[in-house]
């Protein structure tokens, strides 16, 4: 796992401070071939989840990409696979890491 992408996701999550309570702060980064191709975060209470915002900001295909999420509902991620362009997400992998595991 590339720690720099998780750190970027954490940085993005902080954009929701003061606006997402009682929900948690969450950031997401989609990476393909070592490049960030989309980012998202939970911006406001009742708004789209970080993963959904990242997919919304995706401009190209995600085939072979990784998504780094600071906190994720696995059910939501699987649902996104079916709702979003399935062909683009066929080989998408998911990477999650808890804040406390970061050094």
Residue 40 and residue 52 in contact, taking contact as beta carbons nearer than 8 Å: yes
Q: Give the pairing of strands 93-96 and 66-69.
A: parallel
Distances in whole angstroms, Cα of residue 15 to Cα of each of 1, 57, 72, 73, 79: 23, 16, 17, 20, 25
Among residues 2, 35, 51, 90, which one is catalytic? 51
Q: Is 51 a catalytic residue?
A: yes
Asked whether 29 and 39 are in contact (CB, 8 A), the reply is: yes
Catalytic sites, residue numbers: 51
């Amino acid at each position: 796992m590339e720690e720099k992408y998780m750190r970027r996701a954490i940085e993005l999550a902080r954009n929701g401070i003061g606006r997402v309570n009682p929900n948690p702060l969450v950031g997401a980064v989609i990476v393909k071939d070592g490049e960030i191709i989309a980012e998202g975060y939970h911006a406001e209470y009742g708004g789209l989840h970080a993963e959904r915002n990242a997919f919304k900001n995706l401009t190209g295909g995600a085939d072979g990409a990784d998504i780094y999420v600071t906190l994720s509902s696995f059910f939501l991620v699987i649902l996104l696979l079916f709702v979003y362009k399935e062909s683009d997400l066929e080989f998408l992998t998911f990477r999650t890491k808890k804040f406390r595991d970061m050094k």
